[in-house]
């Protein structure tokens, strides 16, 4: 077989065979197929798409390109969740303990943040002592004892995706539904969980800008996951404003703790309940209504909070910081951004707010940049809120005094104001299963 013919077939709109797809994945991962030919094939896929069978074959080949995790010891109880990326998304720290406190086995491998979206691993590393790297045995043993573990992605998980994603990034082929689907689902399949809940974000801070596009992506990923033998559900959720009231690593951990302690409600809690319900209904094969009630009860009873303490402690984290979140180090500078007009916030450019937090030091624009865990933003006013001149819109936290002015500008340019209240968009647009 020649890669030239595979490119030609896809360029001419033909459906690729399983052998052709496997040939591309193994040849590109091993370095036998050069970047320029892989780029041509990716562009042909971008324009001509892939059928469900082709996407499933690509996903499977990528999932098998490196290590895979065997979670069969947990039977039907293992569950994972994946968000397509947003701003202020700290749902895993709440959903994990809720589901684990009800007997689920939550196994999650996460990445670091890049660009305007934060990374789960960075957020967890803001807790002193928390170990991101566990051996396979430690990971399985912790999930067995505690019911959950969140670790960094192992070095050799889906090497095909690492190479293909990096190439897509520089060849304008990221936003292709079959390529996004195979990229996300190959990692989820290799990570081993029996049930997978996807949180497909839509809006100004997300990959998918319209609910229609998000629905197509969600349906695709659910179909492919099912073809690979997994229990699947996807929620399509709003990312037209940051989730909750904080953006930034330690700030987000503190907010997650507040929800688990029952001190905070609102959009963050509501989405976490919906995601937990979706996971529980897959694990236990119950209706969403029954699962939602269970999730609410375990949160209210304090059992989910107790589970968070158990999980953080098992993973080496200092639970004193969870019990008293005022112990997290404070940034040297704190700056209130105030409104210079009266009216209502009519929209938030969530990506811009993510960038403002990166400017403050909470994220990275380039791989391997250092992060300031105490930096970030606490948001006081969101879309639909009334504001009067002088009201605090948000507070910026940073250790870099020079960053404040630029972050403030970026934050303010991300808001639009009007004289009429705009009704908030729905928090959850739909559930695909």
Catalytic residues: 82, 161, 168, 183, 187
Q: To the nearest whole angstrom, how small is the minimum distance from the Cβ of residue 207 to ligand URA?
A: 6
By beta-carbon proximity to ligand URA, the closer residue of 161 and 252 is: 161
Q: To the nearest whole angstrom, how small is the minimum distance from the Cβ of residue 24 to ligand URA?
A: 17
By beta-carbon proximity to ligand URA, the closer residue of 221 and 283 is: 221
Closest to 230 in 3D by CA, of 56, 85, 91, 65: 56
Q: What is the DSSP letter of 208?
A: B
Longest dimension (CA), the chain: 69
Scan residues 51-90 and list those touching ligand URA (CB under 6 A): 84
Scan residues 152-171 and list those touching ligand URA (CB under 6 A): 165
Q: Which residue is nearest to ligand URA (CB)?
A: 183
As a whole number of angstroms, the distance between CA 318 and CA 302 comes to 19
Determine contact, residues 247/88, Cβ cutoff 8 Å: yes
Q: At what angle do helices 52-63 and 211-227 cross, to 10 degrees?
A: 60
Which range touches ligand URA (CB under 6 A), out of 62-70, 172-180, 196-204, 313-321?
172-180
As a whole number of angstroms, the distance between CA 58 and CA 63 comes to 9
Binds ligand URA (CB under 6 A): choice among 184, 196, 253, 275: 184
Q: Is 431 in the site for ligand URA (CB under 6 A)?
A: no
Pairing status of strand 333-338 against strand 392-398: antiparallel
Dihedral sign for Cα atoms in the order 94, 301, 381, 421? positive
Q: To the nearest whole angstrom, how small is the minimum distance from the Cβ of residue 85 to ligand URA?
A: 6
Which range touches ligand URA (CB under 6 A), out of 6-14, 18-26, 37-45, 177-185?
177-185
259 Cβ neighbours under 8 A, 6+ residues apart:
94, 244, 265, 268, 269, 272, 299
Q: To the nearest whole angstrom, how small is the minimum distance from the Cβ of residue 176 to ligand URA?
A: 8
As a whole number of angstroms, the distance between CA 150 and CA 90 comes to 13
Which range touches ligand URA (CB under 6 A), out of 112-120, 175-183, 240-248, 400-408?
175-183
Determine contact, residues 411/369, Cβ cutoff 8 Å: no
Q: To the nearest whole angstrom, how small is the minimum distance from the Cβ of residue 182 to ligand URA?
A: 8
Helix, coil or strand: residue 218: helix
Closest to 229 in 3D by CA, of 352, 72, 415: 72
Q: Is 183 in the site for ligand URA (CB under 6 A)?
A: yes
Total number of residues that touch ligand URA (CB under 6 A): 7
Q: To the nearest whole angstrom, how small is the minimum distance from the Cβ of residue 29 to ligand URA?
A: 16
State phi, psi for 393 to the nearest 5 degrees. Answer: -85, -40
Binds ligand URA (CB under 6 A): choice among 6, 151, 180, 260: 180
Which range touches ligand URA (CB under 6 A), out of 174-182, 259-267, 314-322, 407-415?
174-182
As a whole number of angstroms, the distance between CA 235 and CA 91 comes to 13
> What are the residues binding ligand URA (CB under 6 A)?
84, 165, 174, 179-180, 183-184
């Amino acid at each position: 077989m020649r890669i030239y013919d595979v490119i030609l077939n896809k360029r001419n709109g033909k459906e690729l065979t399983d052998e052709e797809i496997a040939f591309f994945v193994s040849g590109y991962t091993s370095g036998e197929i050069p970047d320029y030919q892989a780029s041509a094939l990716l562009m042909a896929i971008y324009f001509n798409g892939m059928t469900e069978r082709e996407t499933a074959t690509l996903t499977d080949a990528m999932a098998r390109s490196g290590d895979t995790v065997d979670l069969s010891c947990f039977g039907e109880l293992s569950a994972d969740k994946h968000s397509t990326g947003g701003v202020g998304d700290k749902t895993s720290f709440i959903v994990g303990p809720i589901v684990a406190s009800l007997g689920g086995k939550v196994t999650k491998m996460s990445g670091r943040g890049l660009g305007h979206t934060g990374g789960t691993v960075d957020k967890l590393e803001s807790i002193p002592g928390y170990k991101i790297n566990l051996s396979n045995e430690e990971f399985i043993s912790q999930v067995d004892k505690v019911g959950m573990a969140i670790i960094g992605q192992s070095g050799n998980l889906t090497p095909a995706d690492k190479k293909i994603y990096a190439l897509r990034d520089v060849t304008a082929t990221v936003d292709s539904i079959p390529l996004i689907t195979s990229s996300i689902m190959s990692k989820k399949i290799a990570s081993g969980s029996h049930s997978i809940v996807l949180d497909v974000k839509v809006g100004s801070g997300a990959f998918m800008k319209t609910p229609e596009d998000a629905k197509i992506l969600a349906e695709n990923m659910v179909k492919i996951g099912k073809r690979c033998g997994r229990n699947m559900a996807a929620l399509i959720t709003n990312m037209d404003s940051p989730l909750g009231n904080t953006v930034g690593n330690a700030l987000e951990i503190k907010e997650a703790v507040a929800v688990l302690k029952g001190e905070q409600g609102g959009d963050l809690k509501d989405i976490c309940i919906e995601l937990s319900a979706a996971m529980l209904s897959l694990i236990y094969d119950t209706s969403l209504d029954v699962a939602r009630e269970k999730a609410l009860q375990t949160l209210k009873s304090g059992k989910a909070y107790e589970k968070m303490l158990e999980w953080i402690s098992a993973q080496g984290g200092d639970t004193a910081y969870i019990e008293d979140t005022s112990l997290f180090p404070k940034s040297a500078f704190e700056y209130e951004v105030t409104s210079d007009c009266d009216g209502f916030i009519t929209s938030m450019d969530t990506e811009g707010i993510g960038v403002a937090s990166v400017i403050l030091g909470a994220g990275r624009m380039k791989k391997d940049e250092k992060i300031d865990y105490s930096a970030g933003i606490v948001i006081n006013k969101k879309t639909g809120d009334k504001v009067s001149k002088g009201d605090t819109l948000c507070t910026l936290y940073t250790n870099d005094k020079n960053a404040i002015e630029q972050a403030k500008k970026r934050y303010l340019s991300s808001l639009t104001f009007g004289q009429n209240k705009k009704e908030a968009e729905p928090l959850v647009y739909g559930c695909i299963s």
